[in-house]
Amino acid sequence: MNHADTRALVALALQEDIGSGDLTTAACVGPDREAIGRYYARQDCVVAGVELLEYIYDLRGGVKHLHLFATSGKQVVDGQMIAEIRGSARTLLECERVSLNFIQRLSGVATIARKYADAVAHTKCRVLDTRKTTPGMRRLEKFAAHSGGVVNHRMGLYDAVLIKNNHITAAGGVTAALDRVRHLTCHIEIEVRTLAELDEALSCGAKHLLLDNLTPSEAAAWIRRIDGRASTELSGNITLETIRAYAESGADFVSSGAITHSAPSVDFNFRIELY
């Protein structure tokens, strides 16, 4: 939460919303007014991103008191208070929308991530997120996904190798692609689209295989063919309705872009009172 990317994003969000100043608050609220602000969940959800409140308010001059009643990864119920803040009424009002936007979006990701993680309970399979994230928000959305109980896949193109179908085509085949990455020490995974590519990848010593767009029964057959020689990740058509069947195929991982690209924001409410 303290990464430079996160701090820059929060600063950008505040600048985007407040700009040269909050006209409504400046006109309606005296500079000496102080208030208590409280955040409430308006539905059952998994909280994520509430720790950003401290940095959001610090960028606008700080508050006198901030207490979190729920931290990221915590399941809360409709009506439950998750945070309380005391300070300048102007500061609380001008930070209201930005703080809610972050908490609602990130809690939405965490909530759907928890559903995916729960769906594979009592199997050996674990759920991975993907790079299908909102531009600029990847680090936070992956934090939220992890808070919900799934495993973070690679952060970007720079921290792991994932040879996909277009890489195989551009490199000239499975063997050629794998030969070109043997010198690297990071995690190396390759997508295989046919049984011939599967056998070729295994003969080249591939240890991590991505199997895409298979049915659960096809996945089970391919995994039996692999017979423990490599770890397996399944992707494509992975939804809450299908994930259990894929997990029961014997796969080590299933990945779903829906955890980040299709997560609906959850509803939170912010109310202030003067003191």
Sign of the C-alpha dihedral, residues 194, 252, 121, 107? negative
Same-domain status, 80 and 132:
no
**Where residue 145 sits, what CATH number does that domain have?**
3.20.20.70
Same-domain status, 13 and 66:
yes
Q: How confident is the model at residue 275 (pLDDT cuts 50, 70, 90)?
A: confident
Residue 87 near residue 65 (C-beta atoms within 8 A) = yes
87 pairs with which residues across the strands? 35
Residues 95-108, mean pLDDT to the nearest whole number: 98
Neighbour count for residue 241 (Cβ, 10 Å) = 9
Same-domain status, 63 and 91:
yes
Rounded distance between C-alpha atoms, residue 178 and residue 212, angstroms: 18
pLDDT at 230: 98
Same-domain status, 190 and 165:
yes
Rounded to 5 degrees, φ, ψ at 272 are -120, 155
Same-domain status, 147 and 41:
no
pLDDT at 96: 98
pLDDT 10s digits, 247-274: 999 999 999 999 999 999 999 999 999 9
Average pLDDT score, the chain: 97
Same-domain status, 82 and 154:
no
Residues 103-128, mean pLDDT to the nearest whole number: 98
Antiparallel, parallel or unpaired: β 75-76 and 45-46: antiparallel
Domains contained in the chain, number = 2
Sign of the C-alpha dihedral, residues 99, 101, 104, 109? negative
Same-domain status, 173 and 62:
no
Same-domain status, 88 and 180:
no
Instruction: Report the percent of the chain where pLDDT is more than 90.
Output: 99
Q: Is the pLDDT of residue 1 over 90?
A: no
Residues 124-144, mean pLDDT to the nearest whole number: 97
Q: Is the pLDDT of residue 2 over 90?
A: no
Q: How confident is the model at residue 179 (pLDDT cuts 50, 70, 90)?
A: very high
Same-domain status, 102 and 184:
no
Structural domain boundaries, residue 146: 120-261
Angle, helices 4-18 vs 96-119, to 10°: value is 130
**Where residue 98 sits, what CATH number does that domain have?**
3.90.1170.20
Same-domain status, 227 and 249:
yes
Same-domain status, 85 and 130:
no
The two tokens of residue 6 are: 């996160």
Q: Is the pLDDT of residue 81 over 90?
A: yes
Instruction: Report the percent of the chain where pLDDT is more than 70.
Output: 100
pLDDT at 42: 98
Same-domain status, 38 and 162:
no
Residues 50-55, mean pLDDT to the nearest whole number: 97
Point out the residues that are catalytic.
97, 132, 164, 191, 212
pLDDT at 237: 85
Task: Identify the H or E element spanning 35.
Answer: strand 34-41
Q: Is the pLDDT of residue 10 over 90?
A: yes
Q: Is the pLDDT of residue 55 over 90?
A: yes
